[in-house]
Amino acid sequence: MTLISLEEAQKIAAEHELLKTAVEIALEDAAGRILAKPVFADVDRPFSNLSAMDGYAVRLADVVDANAKLKVIGEVAAGQMPDKAISAGECMRIFTGAPLPEGSDHIVIQEDVTRSGDQIITELGYADAEFVRRKGSDFARNDELIGEGALLTPAALSLIAAANVGNLEVYAPLRAAILMNGNELQSPGQDLTPGAIPESNSYGLSGLLRSHGCDVVATRFVSDSRTDISRAIEELSDSADLILTVGGASVGDHDLMRPCFTDAGFGIQFSGVAVRPGKPTWLAKRGTQVVLGLPGNPASSFVCAQLFLPFLSGTKPLQERNALCRVDLKANGRREHLMRALAWIDDHGTLVVEPFASQDSGNISVLAKSNALIRRPVEATAVSSGDQVSVLLTGELF
Ligand SMILES: Nc1nc2c(c(=O)[nH]1)N[C@H]1C(S)=C(S)[C@@H](COP(=O)(O)OP(=O)(O)OC[C@H]3O[C@@H](n4cnc5c(N)ncnc54)[C@H](O)[C@@H]3O)O[C@H]1N2
Ligand code: MOO
């Protein structure tokens, strides 16, 4: 099998990006969708200098020394605007989230003052302005907050709402199906017959498909039989824009997936990638339908879906960063190696990474624990602990 490079394979996948249509929806329906147009802020946030605490809005110049005596000239709470400015020797009672009156630039928290009638006495002296959220410091009106192709995560939804945007354009979901074969596979949670294993790959792949803007319209597993696979291909011919196949990608007598799609008129775009895991990955097309053929090993199918889905769905590829490797790595061979790894930010703020001991593509617990893939180029020389390596981030960093 002649293998093409990962870069070349991703380029071919990008040439097969599926056609998407943009639709306008309400923010409350947007969770998990893919943004079709960037979101721009409609407001400054904060809209004015706001107090971050309950206390008194003062002029910093008045409270440099402790025991300053100030006259309370009014009060302002969140949802109100101050009705007057403060001058030297004055202050205003203020609550968290309220706009600072003109003339003030600092908040003294109420715990640090003694109040009697309309006078306060401060306990401490202050060198710097504190507890003020500056106008526009979070974002400013017309700032681009989220770009096209971004997944609308829960935090992104709150950000968009805070920007005073109520409707947005997202892509209509792509219709995706998962087709698996293997006589050994049984749905999880049943009594397993001798030789059987629980079918597990489709669960992770469904989640990945959704996070790339797809609706999973069908998940089928069929036996290692040409007739069954071919029937399933025809059943999916009108219902899915994208089919992920799992298993049966290699060279064994039971690896029938690719030949069945070829018989059904799909044209192979590439077959075999110089990547580990995922060597037998293939891509095919018939009309507007695209098939990403994934190997059956759990890490191979999941990692290759992460590597190729962004290009087929037009979403953001995995972020690539440099990290300090915490262990020695051997020289790499003829396939680019994507090592399942744990990455984190150390006490000095440096991104560090350590691969898991097992890089077996059948090891699913390591896959589930990892949040990064160390990218070892073809024929890369050995790495010593402390050297920089390139990593693709697949999960959250802590
Ligand atoms: N002689 C060679 N043998 C193999 C080669 C090769 O080049 N020459 N390549 C190896 C590589 S690399 C990979 S990756 C695998 C991929 O094989 P297949 O895509 O044909 O996968 P299967 O044989 O169908 O399955 C592999 C493994 O994964 C399990 N599996 C499959 N589907 C699922 C599922 N949905 N859920 C859970 N587990 C699944 C299956 O039981 C097997 O254990 O080929 C190597 N062989
Ligand atoms: O490509 Mo396979 O996924 O190395 O095991």
H or E stretch including 369? helix 364-369
Q: Choose the residue to mutate in 297, 302, 334 for probing ligand 2, maximizing ligand atoms within 8 Å of C-beta.
A: 297
User: Of 345, 352, 336, whose CA–CA distance to 386 is shortest?
Assistant: 352
Structure tokens at 263: 């018989």
Q: At 13, is the secondary structure helix, strand, or coil?
A: helix
C-alpha 322/C-alpha 353 separation (Å) is: 9
Distance from Cα 359 to the centre of ligand 2, integer Å? 10
Decide if 322 contacts 23 (C-beta within 8 A): no
Using a 6 Å cutoff on CB, does residue 278 contact ligand 2? yes
Using a 6 Å cutoff on CB, does residue 314 contact ligand 2? no
Residue type at 168?
L
DSSP class per residue in 202-265: HHHHHHHHHHTTEEEEEEEEE-S-HHHHHHHHHHTTTT-SEEEEES--SSSTT--HHHHHHHTT
Nearest CA to ligand 2 atom 4: 277
C-alpha 55/C-alpha 110 separation (Å) is: 4
**Per-residue confidence (pLDDT) for residue 223, from 0 to 100:** 87
pLDDT tens track for 321-370: 999 999 999 999 999 999 999 999 999 999 999 999 999 999 999 999 99
Decide if 310 contacts 320 (C-beta within 8 A): no
- Residues in the chain, pLDDT under 50: none
* Burial bucket for residue 128 (CB in 10 Å: 0-12, 13-18, 19+): exposed
Using a 6 Å cutoff on CB, does residue 313 contact ligand 2? no
User: Of 383, 279, 389, whose CA–CA distance to 335 is shortest?
Assistant: 279
C-alpha 329/C-alpha 338 separation (Å) is: 12
Decide if 136 contacts 70 (C-beta within 8 A): no
Among the bound ligands, name the one nearest to the CA of residue 333: 2
User: Of 271, 281, 287, 182, whose CA–CA distance to 237 is shortest?
Assistant: 287
What is the set of domains in the chain, with CATH numbers? 6-20+173-313 (3.40.980.10), 24-45+140-171 (3.90.105.10), 50-133 (2.170.190.11), 319-393 (2.40.340.10)
Decide if 207 contacts 309 (C-beta within 8 A): no
Nearest CA to ligand 1 atom 4: 250
Decide if 93 contacts 74 (C-beta within 8 A): yes
Distance from Cα 1 to the centre of ligand 2, integer Å? 14
Atom of ligand 2 nearest to the CA of 360: 5
Using a 6 Å cutoff on CB, does residue 340 contact ligand 2? no
C-alpha 42/C-alpha 45 separation (Å) is: 9
The dihedral region occupied by 160, where left means phi > 0, alpha psi between -120 and 50, and beta the remainder, is: alpha
Structure tokens at 253: 């007598």
Atom of ligand 2 nearest to the CA of 362: 5
Using a 6 Å cutoff on CB, does residue 297 contact ligand 2? yes
C-alpha 327/C-alpha 102 separation (Å) is: 57
**Per-residue confidence (pLDDT) for residue 23, from 0 to 100:** 97
Report residue 57: phi and psi, to 5°. -85, 125
Strands 113-116 and 119-122: antiparallel
Nearest CA to ligand 1 atom 44: 250
Strands 388-393 and 372-376: antiparallel
pLDDT tens track for 124-148: 999 999 999 999 999 999 999 999 9
- DSSP state, residue 61: G
Nearest CA to ligand 1 atom 43: 297
Structure tokens at 297: 């090993």
Cα 169 to chain centroid, rounded: 19
List pocket residues of ligand 1, CB cut-off 6 Å.
Answer: 180, 182, 184-185, 197, 199-202, 246-251, 255, 277, 279-280, 295-298, 300, 361
**Per-residue confidence (pLDDT) for residue 261, from 0 to 100:** 96
Atom of ligand 2 nearest to the CA of 299: 3
The 8 Å CB, 24+ separation contacts for 161-164 are: 161/27, 162/45, 162/138, 163/39, 163/40, 163/41, 163/42, 163/43, 163/45, 163/139, 164/41, 164/42, 164/43
- DSSP state, residue 270: E
Asked whether the ipTM of the predicted complex exceeds the cut of 0.85, the reply is yes
Structure tokens at 301: 């199918």
Looking at the chain, how many residues does it have?
398
C-alpha 355/C-alpha 348 separation (Å) is: 20
